[in-house]
Chain A
Amino acid sequence: MQDLLKPDWGVLALTVLNFALLVFLLAKFAWKPIIGALEKREQQVRTDKEMAEKARLESQQIKQELDDRLAHISQEAAQKMAQAVKMAEAQQAQIIAAAKEQSAAILAQAQEQITAEKNKAFAQVQNQIAQLSMMAASRILAQEVDEKSAARVVEDVLKEVKTK
Protein backbone atom coordinates (compact mmCIF):
# COMPACT_ATOMS: atom_id res chain seq x y z
CA MET A 1 0.00 0.00 0.00
CA GLN A 2 2.96 2.34 0.55
CA ASP A 3 3.51 2.23 -3.21
CA LEU A 4 0.35 4.30 -3.63
CA LEU A 5 2.17 7.41 -2.50
CA LYS A 6 5.45 6.64 -4.22
CA PRO A 7 5.70 8.82 -7.33
CA ASP A 8 6.73 7.24 -10.61
CA TRP A 9 8.90 9.94 -12.16
CA GLY A 10 8.72 8.35 -15.58
CA VAL A 11 4.91 8.39 -15.58
CA LEU A 12 4.99 11.92 -14.21
CA ALA A 13 7.26 13.14 -16.99
CA LEU A 14 5.31 11.26 -19.63
CA THR A 15 2.02 12.70 -18.34
CA VAL A 16 3.42 16.23 -18.37
CA LEU A 17 4.68 15.73 -21.91
CA ASN A 18 1.44 14.07 -23.00
CA PHE A 19 -0.74 16.78 -21.47
CA ALA A 20 1.38 19.66 -22.78
CA LEU A 21 1.29 18.18 -26.26
CA LEU A 22 -2.45 17.64 -26.00
CA VAL A 23 -3.01 21.25 -24.92
CA PHE A 24 -0.89 22.47 -27.81
CA LEU A 25 -2.57 20.26 -30.43
CA LEU A 26 -6.09 20.86 -29.19
CA ALA A 27 -5.48 24.61 -28.98
CA LYS A 28 -4.38 24.56 -32.61
CA PHE A 29 -6.83 22.13 -34.18
CA ALA A 30 -9.90 22.17 -31.93
CA TRP A 31 -10.22 25.12 -29.56
CA LYS A 32 -9.09 27.75 -32.04
CA PRO A 33 -11.87 27.02 -34.58
CA ILE A 34 -14.47 26.43 -31.85
CA ILE A 35 -13.60 29.62 -29.94
CA GLY A 36 -13.44 31.50 -33.26
CA ALA A 37 -16.90 30.27 -34.26
CA LEU A 38 -18.25 31.05 -30.78
CA GLU A 39 -16.84 34.58 -30.80
CA LYS A 40 -18.08 35.13 -34.33
CA ARG A 41 -21.57 34.02 -33.31
CA GLU A 42 -21.46 36.18 -30.19
CA GLN A 43 -20.29 39.14 -32.26
CA GLN A 44 -23.17 38.49 -34.66
CA VAL A 45 -25.61 38.38 -31.76
CA ARG A 46 -24.13 41.61 -30.36
CA THR A 47 -24.37 43.32 -33.76
CA ASP A 48 -27.95 42.12 -34.23
CA LYS A 49 -28.83 43.33 -30.75
CA GLU A 50 -27.25 46.73 -31.39
CA MET A 51 -29.05 46.99 -34.72
CA ALA A 52 -32.34 46.03 -33.11
CA GLU A 53 -31.77 48.62 -30.40
CA LYS A 54 -30.90 51.22 -33.02
CA ALA A 55 -34.00 50.33 -35.03
CA ARG A 56 -36.09 50.54 -31.87
CA LEU A 57 -34.71 54.00 -31.08
CA GLU A 58 -35.26 55.13 -34.66
CA SER A 59 -38.83 53.85 -34.69
CA GLN A 60 -39.42 55.56 -31.34
CA GLN A 61 -38.03 58.79 -32.77
CA ILE A 62 -40.19 58.45 -35.91
CA LYS A 63 -43.24 57.77 -33.75
CA GLN A 64 -42.44 60.86 -31.67
CA GLU A 65 -42.06 62.93 -34.83
CA LEU A 66 -45.33 61.59 -36.22
CA ASP A 67 -47.10 62.29 -32.94
CA ASP A 68 -45.72 65.83 -32.94
CA ARG A 69 -46.74 66.30 -36.54
CA LEU A 70 -50.18 64.88 -35.84
CA ALA A 71 -50.58 67.20 -32.87
CA HIS A 72 -49.45 70.12 -35.04
CA ILE A 73 -51.86 69.12 -37.81
CA SER A 74 -54.72 68.83 -35.32
CA GLN A 75 -53.88 72.26 -33.97
CA GLU A 76 -53.66 73.68 -37.48
CA ALA A 77 -56.95 72.04 -38.46
CA ALA A 78 -58.63 73.47 -35.36
CA GLN A 79 -57.22 76.91 -36.21
CA LYS A 80 -58.40 76.63 -39.81
CA MET A 81 -61.79 75.42 -38.67
CA ALA A 82 -62.09 78.36 -36.30
CA GLN A 83 -61.00 80.68 -39.08
CA ALA A 84 -63.53 79.14 -41.48
CA VAL A 85 -66.29 79.45 -38.90
CA LYS A 86 -65.31 83.08 -38.34
CA MET A 87 -65.31 83.72 -42.09
CA ALA A 88 -68.62 81.96 -42.50
CA GLU A 89 -70.08 84.03 -39.68
CA ALA A 90 -68.77 87.22 -41.29
CA GLN A 91 -70.18 86.16 -44.63
CA GLN A 92 -73.46 85.26 -42.98
CA ALA A 93 -73.64 88.66 -41.33
CA GLN A 94 -72.72 90.29 -44.61
CA ILE A 95 -75.37 88.29 -46.50
CA ILE A 96 -77.98 89.05 -43.88
CA ALA A 97 -77.08 92.73 -43.95
CA ALA A 98 -77.23 92.76 -47.75
CA ALA A 99 -80.53 90.92 -47.69
CA LYS A 100 -81.89 93.35 -45.14
CA GLU A 101 -80.67 96.24 -47.19
CA GLN A 102 -82.15 94.72 -50.33
CA SER A 103 -85.44 93.99 -48.61
CA ALA A 104 -85.52 97.51 -47.23
CA ALA A 105 -84.87 98.85 -50.71
CA ILE A 106 -87.59 96.62 -52.17
CA LEU A 107 -89.91 97.68 -49.40
CA ALA A 108 -89.15 101.32 -49.98
CA GLN A 109 -89.59 100.83 -53.70
CA ALA A 110 -92.87 99.02 -53.07
CA GLN A 111 -93.99 101.76 -50.76
CA GLU A 112 -93.05 104.32 -53.34
CA GLN A 113 -94.96 102.39 -55.97
CA ILE A 114 -97.92 102.04 -53.65
CA THR A 115 -97.83 105.74 -52.88
CA ALA A 116 -97.53 106.52 -56.55
CA GLU A 117 -100.33 104.14 -57.36
CA LYS A 118 -102.38 105.60 -54.53
CA ASN A 119 -101.73 109.12 -55.72
CA LYS A 120 -102.53 108.06 -59.20
CA ALA A 121 -105.72 106.39 -58.00
CA PHE A 122 -106.57 109.50 -55.97
CA ALA A 123 -105.95 111.61 -58.99
CA GLN A 124 -108.14 109.35 -61.07
CA VAL A 125 -110.83 109.34 -58.41
CA GLN A 126 -110.57 113.09 -58.18
CA ASN A 127 -110.84 113.38 -61.94
CA GLN A 128 -113.78 111.05 -61.99
CA ILE A 129 -115.42 112.85 -59.10
CA ALA A 130 -114.78 116.05 -60.90
CA GLN A 131 -116.16 114.62 -64.11
CA LEU A 132 -119.14 113.19 -62.29
CA SER A 133 -119.66 116.43 -60.46
CA MET A 134 -119.42 118.19 -63.75
CA MET A 135 -121.87 115.71 -65.26
CA ALA A 136 -124.20 115.96 -62.32
CA ALA A 137 -123.99 119.67 -62.32
CA SER A 138 -124.56 119.84 -66.02
CA ARG A 139 -127.62 117.61 -65.69
CA ILE A 140 -128.89 119.60 -62.85
CA LEU A 141 -128.35 122.71 -64.76
CA ALA A 142 -129.96 121.20 -67.89
CA GLN A 143 -133.36 120.61 -66.24
CA GLU A 144 -135.36 122.10 -63.58
CA VAL A 145 -134.93 120.15 -60.69
CA ASP A 146 -137.23 119.31 -57.82
CA GLU A 147 -136.30 117.33 -54.85
CA LYS A 148 -137.50 114.09 -56.27
CA SER A 149 -135.76 114.58 -59.56
CA ALA A 150 -132.60 115.67 -57.79
CA ALA A 151 -132.70 112.53 -55.79
CA ARG A 152 -133.23 110.54 -58.94
CA VAL A 153 -130.28 112.25 -60.56
CA VAL A 154 -128.12 111.46 -57.64
CA GLU A 155 -129.26 107.84 -57.76
CA ASP A 156 -128.50 107.69 -61.45
CA VAL A 157 -125.10 109.18 -60.90
CA LEU A 158 -124.41 106.66 -58.15
CA LYS A 159 -125.54 103.80 -60.36
CA GLU A 160 -123.31 105.07 -63.07
CA VAL A 161 -120.46 105.30 -60.68
CA LYS A 162 -121.10 101.71 -59.50
CA THR A 163 -121.25 100.38 -63.03
CA LYS A 164 -117.98 102.08 -63.81
Chain B
Amino acid sequence: MNVSEIISHHILDHDFGVMLGNVRLPITAHSVTIFCVSLFLLGALTWIAQAHKNRAGRLLTTLMEEYVSFIRDGVVLPNMGAEGRSMLPYFCTLFLFILSVNLAGMIPNMKTATSNISVTAALALCSGMLILYSGLKYHGLMGFIKGFVPSGTPLWLVPLVFPLEVVSTVIKVCVLAIRLFANMLSGHMVLLCLLIIVFVVGQMHWAAGVGSVLPAMALEIFMTCLELLVAFLQAYVFTLLTAIFAGSVIHTH
Protein backbone atom coordinates (compact mmCIF):
# COMPACT_ATOMS: atom_id res chain seq x y z
CA MET B 1 0.00 0.00 0.00
CA ASN B 2 1.41 3.38 -0.94
CA VAL B 3 0.56 6.65 0.84
CA SER B 4 -2.12 7.54 -1.68
CA GLU B 5 -3.86 4.20 -1.16
CA ILE B 6 -3.69 4.57 2.63
CA ILE B 7 -5.27 8.01 2.47
CA SER B 8 -7.93 6.83 0.00
CA HIS B 9 -8.69 3.84 2.17
CA HIS B 10 -9.28 6.04 5.23
CA ILE B 11 -11.18 8.80 3.51
CA LEU B 12 -13.28 7.03 0.89
CA ASP B 13 -16.70 5.69 1.75
CA HIS B 14 -16.93 1.93 2.48
CA ASP B 15 -19.79 0.11 0.87
CA PHE B 16 -21.07 -2.76 3.04
CA GLY B 17 -22.42 -4.42 -0.09
CA VAL B 18 -25.98 -4.95 1.08
CA MET B 19 -28.13 -6.19 -1.80
CA LEU B 20 -31.88 -6.41 -2.18
CA GLY B 21 -32.27 -8.95 -4.95
CA ASN B 22 -30.17 -7.50 -7.74
CA VAL B 23 -30.40 -3.94 -6.44
CA ARG B 24 -27.49 -2.54 -4.48
CA LEU B 25 -28.60 -0.69 -1.35
CA PRO B 26 -26.55 2.43 -0.47
CA ILE B 27 -25.60 1.15 2.96
CA THR B 28 -22.15 2.64 3.38
CA ALA B 29 -20.07 3.91 6.29
CA HIS B 30 -21.14 7.48 5.52
CA SER B 31 -24.83 6.69 5.13
CA VAL B 32 -24.77 4.72 8.41
CA THR B 33 -23.06 7.68 10.12
CA ILE B 34 -25.70 10.03 8.75
CA PHE B 35 -28.45 7.72 9.91
CA CYS B 36 -26.95 7.47 13.43
CA VAL B 37 -26.50 11.24 13.64
CA SER B 38 -30.10 11.75 12.49
CA LEU B 39 -31.39 9.31 15.09
CA PHE B 40 -29.33 10.98 17.80
CA LEU B 41 -30.55 14.46 16.80
CA LEU B 42 -34.14 13.33 16.58
CA GLY B 43 -34.07 11.63 19.98
CA ALA B 44 -32.08 14.34 21.75
CA LEU B 45 -33.98 17.32 20.37
CA THR B 46 -37.40 15.73 20.86
CA TRP B 47 -36.44 15.04 24.49
CA ILE B 48 -35.09 18.58 24.97
CA ALA B 49 -38.23 20.12 23.45
CA GLN B 50 -40.42 18.59 26.14
CA ALA B 51 -41.20 20.59 29.27
CA HIS B 52 -38.78 19.50 31.96
CA LYS B 53 -38.97 19.75 35.70
CA ASN B 54 -35.33 18.89 36.39
CA ARG B 55 -32.61 21.51 36.18
CA ALA B 56 -30.55 19.80 33.46
CA GLY B 57 -33.59 19.49 31.18
CA ARG B 58 -34.52 23.13 31.70
CA LEU B 59 -30.93 24.15 31.02
CA LEU B 60 -30.84 22.22 27.76
CA THR B 61 -34.21 23.64 26.71
CA THR B 62 -32.95 27.16 27.40
CA LEU B 63 -29.77 26.36 25.45
CA MET B 64 -31.83 25.20 22.46
CA GLU B 65 -34.00 28.32 22.67
CA GLU B 66 -30.85 30.42 22.56
CA TYR B 67 -29.64 28.40 19.58
CA VAL B 68 -32.93 28.93 17.73
CA SER B 69 -32.83 32.61 18.56
CA PHE B 70 -29.23 32.80 17.22
CA ILE B 71 -30.21 31.13 13.92
CA ARG B 72 -33.34 33.27 13.62
CA ASP B 73 -31.82 36.66 14.54
CA GLY B 74 -28.31 36.05 13.19
CA VAL B 75 -28.93 34.09 10.01
CA VAL B 76 -32.54 33.93 8.83
CA LEU B 77 -34.17 37.29 9.57
CA PRO B 78 -31.26 39.55 8.47
CA ASN B 79 -30.96 37.76 5.12
CA MET B 80 -34.49 36.64 4.35
CA GLY B 81 -36.60 39.10 6.30
CA ALA B 82 -39.88 38.13 7.94
CA GLU B 83 -40.58 35.76 5.03
CA GLY B 84 -37.86 33.44 6.33
CA ARG B 85 -39.63 32.87 9.63
CA SER B 86 -41.60 29.93 8.24
CA MET B 87 -38.33 28.28 7.08
CA LEU B 88 -36.63 28.58 10.45
CA PRO B 89 -36.97 24.82 11.25
CA TYR B 90 -35.03 24.02 8.06
CA PHE B 91 -32.11 26.27 8.99
CA CYS B 92 -32.08 25.08 12.61
CA THR B 93 -31.89 21.48 11.39
CA LEU B 94 -29.34 22.26 8.66
CA PHE B 95 -26.78 23.85 10.98
CA LEU B 96 -27.07 21.17 13.67
CA PHE B 97 -27.04 18.34 11.12
CA ILE B 98 -23.91 19.56 9.30
CA LEU B 99 -22.16 20.30 12.59
CA SER B 100 -23.02 16.88 14.01
CA VAL B 101 -21.90 15.06 10.86
CA ASN B 102 -18.67 17.12 10.81
CA LEU B 103 -17.97 16.27 14.44
CA ALA B 104 -18.98 12.61 14.08
CA GLY B 105 -15.60 11.95 12.49
CA MET B 106 -13.99 12.65 15.86
CA ILE B 107 -15.76 9.62 17.33
CA PRO B 108 -13.86 6.33 16.79
CA ASN B 109 -15.40 3.99 14.19
CA MET B 110 -17.48 6.84 12.76
CA LYS B 111 -16.77 8.79 9.60
CA THR B 112 -16.98 12.43 8.63
CA ALA B 113 -19.71 11.99 6.06
CA THR B 114 -19.37 15.60 4.90
CA SER B 115 -16.03 14.64 3.31
CA ASN B 116 -18.13 12.73 0.77
CA ILE B 117 -19.19 14.75 -2.28
CA SER B 118 -22.46 12.80 -2.53
CA VAL B 119 -23.48 13.84 0.99
CA THR B 120 -22.61 17.52 0.52
CA ALA B 121 -24.28 17.46 -2.90
CA ALA B 122 -27.43 16.06 -1.28
CA LEU B 123 -27.40 18.87 1.29
CA ALA B 124 -26.79 21.46 -1.43
CA LEU B 125 -29.64 19.93 -3.43
CA CYS B 126 -31.95 20.34 -0.42
CA SER B 127 -30.82 23.98 -0.06
CA GLY B 128 -31.32 24.48 -3.79
CA MET B 129 -34.85 23.12 -3.46
CA LEU B 130 -35.48 25.54 -0.61
CA ILE B 131 -34.20 28.46 -2.70
CA LEU B 132 -36.44 27.38 -5.58
CA TYR B 133 -39.41 26.97 -3.22
CA SER B 134 -38.80 30.45 -1.73
CA GLY B 135 -38.76 32.04 -5.17
CA LEU B 136 -41.89 30.24 -6.33
CA LYS B 137 -43.75 30.85 -3.07
CA TYR B 138 -43.21 34.62 -2.94
CA HIS B 139 -43.14 35.51 -6.65
CA GLY B 140 -44.94 32.75 -8.52
CA LEU B 141 -43.42 31.02 -11.56
CA MET B 142 -43.29 34.09 -13.81
CA GLY B 143 -42.13 36.40 -11.05
CA PHE B 144 -39.38 33.94 -10.12
CA ILE B 145 -38.19 33.73 -13.73
CA LYS B 146 -38.35 37.54 -14.08
CA GLY B 147 -36.24 37.77 -10.92
CA PHE B 148 -33.27 36.43 -12.85
CA VAL B 149 -33.16 39.62 -14.91
CA PRO B 150 -32.10 42.65 -12.85
CA SER B 151 -34.42 45.64 -13.16
CA GLY B 152 -33.15 48.27 -15.58
CA THR B 153 -31.42 45.76 -17.84
CA PRO B 154 -31.73 46.83 -21.50
CA LEU B 155 -33.98 44.50 -23.48
CA TRP B 156 -31.22 43.49 -25.88
CA LEU B 157 -29.09 42.31 -22.92
CA VAL B 158 -31.81 40.05 -21.47
CA PRO B 159 -30.93 36.96 -23.57
CA LEU B 160 -27.37 37.25 -22.28
CA VAL B 161 -28.10 38.15 -18.65
CA PHE B 162 -30.86 35.61 -18.05
CA PRO B 163 -28.80 32.44 -18.71
CA LEU B 164 -25.89 33.97 -16.83
CA GLU B 165 -28.07 34.60 -13.77
CA VAL B 166 -29.57 31.08 -13.95
CA VAL B 167 -26.13 29.49 -14.22
CA SER B 168 -24.87 31.76 -11.43
CA THR B 169 -27.63 30.52 -9.11
CA VAL B 170 -26.91 26.89 -9.99
CA ILE B 171 -23.18 27.42 -9.47
CA LYS B 172 -23.81 29.05 -6.12
CA VAL B 173 -25.66 25.92 -5.00
CA CYS B 174 -22.94 23.64 -6.40
CA VAL B 175 -20.27 25.69 -4.66
CA LEU B 176 -22.08 25.11 -1.38
CA ALA B 177 -21.48 21.39 -1.81
CA ILE B 178 -17.88 21.72 -3.01
CA ARG B 179 -16.87 24.16 -0.25
CA LEU B 180 -18.09 21.91 2.55
CA PHE B 181 -16.69 18.77 0.92
CA ALA B 182 -13.27 20.32 0.22
CA ASN B 183 -12.89 21.83 3.67
CA MET B 184 -13.78 18.67 5.56
CA LEU B 185 -11.77 16.42 3.22
CA SER B 186 -8.63 18.57 3.35
CA GLY B 187 -8.68 18.63 7.15
CA HIS B 188 -8.84 14.85 7.29
CA MET B 189 -6.14 14.50 4.68
CA VAL B 190 -3.80 16.75 6.64
CA LEU B 191 -4.48 14.78 9.83
CA LEU B 192 -3.72 11.51 8.02
CA CYS B 193 -0.57 12.89 6.37
CA LEU B 194 0.76 14.03 9.74
CA LEU B 195 0.27 10.51 11.10
CA ILE B 196 1.84 8.92 8.05
CA ILE B 197 4.93 11.14 8.42
CA VAL B 198 5.95 9.03 11.44
CA PHE B 199 5.83 5.79 9.43
CA VAL B 200 7.47 7.22 6.31
CA VAL B 201 10.34 8.66 8.35
CA GLY B 202 10.49 5.45 10.41
CA GLN B 203 11.06 3.44 7.22
CA MET B 204 14.22 5.44 6.63
CA HIS B 205 15.56 4.83 10.13
CA TRP B 206 13.79 3.66 13.26
CA ALA B 207 15.38 6.44 15.40
CA ALA B 208 14.15 9.12 13.01
CA GLY B 209 10.68 7.59 13.23
CA VAL B 210 10.73 7.73 17.05
CA GLY B 211 12.08 11.30 16.94
CA SER B 212 9.27 12.44 14.63
CA VAL B 213 6.51 11.12 16.93
CA LEU B 214 6.41 14.13 19.27
CA PRO B 215 6.39 16.87 16.58
CA ALA B 216 3.85 14.90 14.56
CA MET B 217 1.59 14.48 17.61
CA ALA B 218 1.86 18.17 18.48
CA LEU B 219 0.87 19.10 14.92
CA GLU B 220 -1.88 16.48 15.05
CA ILE B 221 -3.37 18.05 18.20
CA PHE B 222 -3.13 21.50 16.65
CA MET B 223 -4.84 20.32 13.46
CA THR B 224 -7.56 18.54 15.45
CA CYS B 225 -8.34 21.81 17.23
CA LEU B 226 -8.37 23.53 13.85
CA GLU B 227 -10.70 20.82 12.54
CA LEU B 228 -13.08 21.49 15.43
CA LEU B 229 -13.12 25.16 14.49
CA VAL B 230 -13.60 24.31 10.80
CA ALA B 231 -16.48 21.97 11.69
CA PHE B 232 -18.36 24.85 13.34
CA LEU B 233 -17.31 27.37 10.73
CA GLN B 234 -18.36 25.30 7.72
CA ALA B 235 -21.73 24.45 9.27
CA TYR B 236 -22.29 28.15 9.85
CA VAL B 237 -21.09 29.15 6.38
CA PHE B 238 -23.33 26.58 4.67
CA THR B 239 -26.38 27.72 6.67
CA LEU B 240 -25.61 31.41 6.20
CA LEU B 241 -25.04 31.11 2.45
CA THR B 242 -28.27 29.14 2.02
CA ALA B 243 -30.11 31.94 3.84
CA ILE B 244 -28.39 34.62 1.74
CA PHE B 245 -29.21 32.85 -1.55
CA ALA B 246 -32.82 32.23 -0.49
CA GLY B 247 -33.05 35.86 0.64
CA SER B 248 -31.71 37.09 -2.71
CA VAL B 249 -34.42 35.10 -4.48
CA ILE B 250 -37.16 36.45 -2.17
CA HIS B 251 -35.96 40.07 -2.32
CA THR B 252 -34.94 40.36 -5.96
CA HIS B 253 -33.04 43.38 -7.22
Contact = CB atoms under 8 A, between A and B. Distances in A.
Interface of A: 1, 3-16, 18-23, 25-27, 29-35, 37-38, 41
Given A4-B11, A18-B35, A34 B42 contact: no
Contact of B12 (A4, A15, A18, A32): A4
Contacts of A6: 117
B48 interface: yes
Nearest to A5: B117
Residue of A7, A21, A26, A38 with most chain B CB atoms under a 10 A cut-off: A26
Of listed B4, B25, B92, residue having the most chain A CB within 10 A: B92
Q: Which 3 A-B pairs have the closest CB atoms?
A: A10-B26, A15-B122, A27-B89
Given A4-B117, A11-B31, A18 B38 contact: yes
Contacts of A20: 126
B165 interface: no
Interface in B43-82: 45-46, 48-50, 61, 64-65, 68-69
Main secondary structure of the interface of B (DSSP, over half): helix
Contacts of A15: 31, 34, 113, 118-119, 122-123
A21 B38 CA distance: 9
A33 B89 contact: no
B125 interface: yes
B90 A23 contact: yes
